[in-house]
Amino acid sequence: MSARSSKSIVLTLCGIALSWHGSAEMVLPGYLTDPTAMKEVIAKDAGYQPPERLKYPYVSTYYVKPTVTPEETVKVGIYVTDFDSSKIRFRDDSHRFSAFFEYRLKGGESKVLELTDLKSGDAEFTIGKLPVGEYEFRVWAVDEKGRESHRVIHDFRAMTAADQTIPADRVYAMTAADLAAYGIRNDGDLERIVYVATNGEETVVKEKRPDVPGYTVKVPLDPKSGKVPFRAFEKATVVYDVGYDAALAETNAVATSDGLQRLVNEKAAEGFRKLVLLPGVYRVSWSRRLRLPDRFTLDLGGATLKLNACSVASVVMVNLASTVDSHLVGGTLEGDYWAHDYKGSPSGSEWVSGFEIGGDSWYSSVEGVTVRDITGYGGQNGIAKDAKGDLAFFCDWFPAYAPGGLDAKSGEVDTNDCCRFTTDFKDLKKIAGKGFRRLQVSKYLGYQGVATRSWQLTAAWYDAEKNFISAETCWQYREMWIPEQAAFIRISVEAENAEAAKKADLKLVAFRIPVNCAVKNCRFERCRCVGYAASAMKNMLFEGNFFTASGESAAKCAFDAEDGWDQMQDVYYTGNVFRENPIN
């Protein structure tokens, strides 16, 4: 992925099938032959070429199936290439690699598989059938000159088919009695929407509940297209019925939000794994967010959660906050696009959102949900506060850099290495004390990108007496396993000098981000700022979603890869449709 001066992002997809004719040496330009491809980085350092010993190979994985059964044969596909991507750029297929696949039950002993004499391109590891449990693996490549790639880390689980199915006696269907018992109202359809043609003809496209004071939104259609106009919220008028009580509507919305949360929590505590709502419109409050518990599915059952009108900049209607195996399915999340107080809202009302998959959520998903008429983002995911309100990350500084590069075999610093600079020993007590088993080396959030002369660097691990344990090539922003007994780390980076290495501002970080989550078969319609805003995740699937009329303001995207896109790793898009979005 690459991004430049705005929050919208240009997607560059690897592995595209290409055809060509003729005998030209170069097929596609890369940064070595086309400096404009990475002009922000290359322009200030145009004369630098890494020495051959630092031209590490590259490896990536295809989508890793998050959940398998003990009866199926587990396979993981990979892609491997040399530093220069020579097969694609120069039609040079002479490079050969070995690939290694290390896997283990979490907390168990590792097993390592090897593939040899691989050409540039695709390969596949066959792991076989696995017992029930939680697994983690890392895969890397070594070229014919002994140069090692970074390691790509993933997780998956093996579960029986029976354990993947919620039994009927663990499904709770909401009853009419629950409405009264929990103070929940599902009669919140107070909004009537009317389209007005240029000839004055009116068409009712949404009807409110009869005989109850509400409000009517009149939307003038575009005179040329006859459709809802761009930035329709600025052109619509809202007329409130006599007797409509905005304060009472909010009071009822708060009560409904609180009641739904109590119902969800209590049914989860009673051992139910799924709650199916009664049909209706549940008008909820901006001051609350419905949080899903672990291993729990909320089935809206065709119902609508409707956000009551507000004047705030940030809302999440349904939150999957550091959840495990939690799911939101069916029904509709509807915002307050028409009745929102834009003038009274700070920051352009940008972060009013339908749902969020945040923090270290695992195996969680949103599927078959319609999100419409949101003033901000239809859906979002990334680094976020967990259910306890804590931000789920660790961040610490590296000590000073000095000339020389780490020897990966000994952990010693070669002071004759004029291309690299190495930190002093960094104590891992803080990160170990917080329970993290992995870490990254990266810039801290924001607009990131390669911070030094190369994405790759060397990390070396040492015990409490600073005895060398092991070293590896790593990739900025990619996780590394922390070896057992590791108490210190040092890193070597490619830089012009020690001051440049320091200014790269690399940190030791451990982010808790959504892993093995999915957004499938959802519809995002008239989500004003962004249809979906993604900012951090790993092995995440976007499949079969439909985006329309989204992206009128702020980021102006139907799908926006948000700030911190280098934390968006191994993200897969398939079968998504983008139609009639106003900007891009």
pLDDT in tens, 360-397: 899 999 999 999 999 999 999 988 776 666 666 778 89
Q: What's at 411, amino acid-wise?
A: G
Which own/partner pairs from 183-186 qualify as long-range (CB within 8 Å, at least 24 positions apart)?
A: 183/255, 183/256, 183/258, 183/259, 184/255, 184/256, 184/259, 184/260, 184/263, 184/282, 185/252, 185/255, 185/256, 185/282, 185/283, 186/277, 186/278, 186/279, 186/280, 186/281, 186/282, 186/303
Going by pLDDT thresholds of 50, 70 and 90, the confidence category of residue 555 is confident
Helix (H, G, I), strand (E, B) or coil at 555: coil
What is the share, in percent, of the chain residues with pLDDT greater than 70? 90
Query: What would the DSSP string read from start to end of 467-484?
Result: -EEEEEEEETT--EEPPT
Going by pLDDT thresholds of 50, 70 and 90, the confidence category of residue 566 is confident
Q: How far, in Å, CA of 465 to CA of 453, rounded? A: 32
> 75: buried, middle or exposed (CB in 10 Å: 19+, 13-18, 0-12)?
middle
Going by pLDDT thresholds of 50, 70 and 90, the confidence category of residue 21 is very low
Give the model's pLDDT for residue 44.
58
CA distances to 199, 270, 335, 496, 547 from 231, rounded to whole Å, are: 21, 46, 15, 49, 16
Q: What is the mean pLDDT of the chain?
A: 90
Give the model's pLDDT for residue 511.
84
Report whether pLDDT(18) > 50. Answer: no
Strands of 480-481's sheet in order across: 393-397, 507-511, 438-442, 480-481
Give the model's pLDDT for residue 388.
63
For the chain, the helix, strand and coil percentages under 3-state DSSP, each to the nearest 5: 15, 40, 50
- The per-residue pLDDT for range 436-445, each reduced to its tens digit, is 789 999 988 7
Q: Which helix (H) or strand (E) holds 137?
A: strand 133-143
Give the model's pLDDT for residue 8.
30
> Between residues 38 and 263, which one has the greater pLDDT?
263
> Between residues 287 and 29, which one has the greater pLDDT?
287
φ and ψ of 402, to 5 deg: -135, 155
Query: How many Cα atoms are found within 13 Å in the side-chain-facing hemisphere of 55?
Result: 16
- The per-residue pLDDT for range 144-178, each reduced to its tens digit, is 999 999 999 999 999 999 999 999 999 999 999 99
- The per-residue pLDDT for range 100-133, each reduced to its tens digit, is 999 999 989 999 999 999 999 999 999 999 999 9
Going by pLDDT thresholds of 50, 70 and 90, the confidence category of residue 281 is very high
Average pLDDT over residues 197-225: 96
- The per-residue pLDDT for range 467-521, each reduced to its tens digit, is 999 999 999 999 999 999 999 999 999 999 999 999 999 999 888 889 999 999 9
